[in-house]
Amino acid sequence: MGRGIKMRANSIIMVVLAAVFGIVAVVLANVWLDGQRSAFASGGGEETPQATIVVAATALNFGDTLNADNLREIAWPANAVPPGTFRTRQELISAEGGRQVLTAMAANEPVLESRITGPGQRATLSAVLAEGMRAVSIRVNDVLGVAGFVLPGDRVDVLLTRNARNNDGDDQPFVDVLLQSIKVLAVDQQADEKRNDPTVVKSVTLEVSTKDAQKLTLASGVGQLSLALRQVASPEGQITDRITLNDLIGDTPADVAARQAELARQQALEEARKRAEADIAGIREAVESVGSRLETRIDTVENELKRVQQPVIREEPEVREVVRLIEAEPPKRVSVNVHRGLDRQAYDVPRLR
């Protein structure tokens, strides 16, 4: 029984110690968090240099004139001042003339130099145009202008509908995508990008390059232009095809037969091209093989010629002339002539030593 009481006392002591340590840990964590909050509130113990910038005191629209009533100065970290901002209202409102808004701004939005006109200038489309771009207006109606839902700042595709004479001499209508992802500068005489109410308009002004301006001017005289509103987040163009009546009503049996014949002809041409390429590759390989053998044979002949043309030096044996005097041995027999009157008789007799 005494052992049980002792174990129970130990358990109580461990629980008490655990509770004490937990309370100490919580207190220390709170102290540390308070210190971090104080350091954050005081900027890490160091004062951050402050500057001022000019912001819009109220919402500003295209064409609004900037003045002391619609502008105000606010504190801003000196090391994070956005480029193109103004430090004071006096710096922005110069004595040379007022400035006007080119792009709509919300309240408390920093006023950037790129979004307002220069001193004494008016807010016109020429001031909004990007460098090297042109403004061209095209005529639209409630249908061609996407029911008036095209607003300044949107991007559209320009479609051209016209007739062209086919091979049979008949006029066939078709539609081409003339331009893609073109920025809308103004609808009628309104260029405010904050405008969001759809209105049926008669003209739309687009921002295009010089070449595209020529295309639009020519296309307006040869066919009908219409607009297709694009998603703002997809400014890039895409590959498009010409749409004709065949794409609307489907192909006739004659069209299907002609297409199949064309596909067969293309396939035959492709197979012939592959065979020709294979033949050319075989001829090229054979020529290269013959050339390699010829080069080997020529090298062999040249080496043989070099070996034959080299002079062969042979060591001649030394010749010594030995002269001995040999006495001739006298003949053993001699011829003796005997004359008897007019006759002569020859006798062969032994030689006397």
Q: Does residue 240 share a domain with residue 211?
A: yes
Q: Does residue 185 share a domain with residue 156?
A: yes
How many helices (H) and strands (E) the chain has is answered by 6, 10
State the Cα torsion 189-195-199-204 to the nearest 10°: 40
Domain assignment present for residue 79? The answer is: no
Q: Does residue 181 share a domain with residue 229?
A: yes
Q: Does residue 299 share a domain with residue 272?
A: yes
Q: Does residue 162 share a domain with residue 238?
A: yes
Q: Which domain holds residue 160?
A: 131-248
Q: Does residue 216 share a domain with residue 138?
A: yes
Domain assignment present for residue 324? The answer is: no
Detail the DSSP E strand segments found in 39-93: 50-56, 71-77
Q: Of 230, 248, 266, at which residue does a domain stop?
A: 248
For residue 141, the tally of other CB atoms under 10 A from its CB is 13
Domain assignment present for residue 164? The answer is: yes
Domain assignment present for residue 291? The answer is: yes
Q: Does the CA dihedral 167-169-173-175 come out positive or negative?
A: positive
The amino acid occupying position 29 is A
Q: Does residue 244 share a domain with residue 135?
A: yes
pLDDT digits (tens, 9 = 90+) for 136-171: 888 877 656 666 678 888 888 888 888 877 776 677
Look up the pTM and report it: 0.46
Domain assignment present for residue 208? The answer is: yes
State how beta strands 134-139 and 203-208 pair: antiparallel
Domain assignment present for residue 113? The answer is: no
Q: Tell me if 74 sits within 8 A of 89, measured CB to CB.
A: no
Q: Does residue 204 share a domain with residue 301?
A: no
Per-residue confidence in pLDDT tens, the chain, 353 aa: 555 565 677 777 777 777 777 888 877 887 777 776 665 555 544 556 788 888 888 888 877 888 888 888 888 888 888 888 888 888 877 756 678 887 778 888 888 887 787 776 666 666 677 788 888 888 877 656 666 678 888 888 888 888 877 776 677 888 888 888 888 888 876 655 555 555 666 788 888 899 999 998 898 888 888 888 887 666 667 787 887 777 776 666 666 677 788 888 888 999 988 988 888 888 888 888 877 787 887 778 777 777 766 665 566 666 666 666 666 677 777 676 766 766 777 777 676 66
For residue 208, the tally of other CB atoms under 10 A from its CB is 20
Tokens of 324: 């001995």
Q: Does residue 282 share a domain with residue 225?
A: no
Q: Of 248, 265, 280, at which residue does a domain stop?
A: 248
Residue 179 to residues 17, 123, 219, 230, 301, Cα–Cα distance (Å): 79, 27, 11, 12, 71
Q: Does residue 266 share a domain with residue 190?
A: no
Nearest CA to 230 out of 280, 192, 184 is that of: 184
- Which residue in the block uniquely carries the two structure tokens 């035959």? 268
Burial 174-187 (b: 16+ CB within 10 A, else e): bbebbbbebbbbbb
Q: Does residue 167 share a domain with residue 226?
A: yes
Q: Of 285, 306, 327, at which residue does a domain stop?
A: 306
- Partnered with residue 8 across adjacent β-strands are none
Domain assignment present for residue 173? The answer is: yes
pLDDT at 44: 47
pLDDT digits (tens, 9 = 90+) for 77-107: 888 888 888 888 888 777 566 788 877 788 8
Domains identified in the chain, total number: 2
Domain assignment present for residue 165? The answer is: yes
Q: How far is CA 294 from the centre of its chain?
A: 47
Q: Tell me if 240 sits within 8 A of 159, measured CB to CB.
A: no
Which 8-state DSSP code applies to residue 147? Answer: G
Residues in the chain: 353
Tokens of 142: 């409630």
Q: Does residue 271 share a domain with residue 187?
A: no
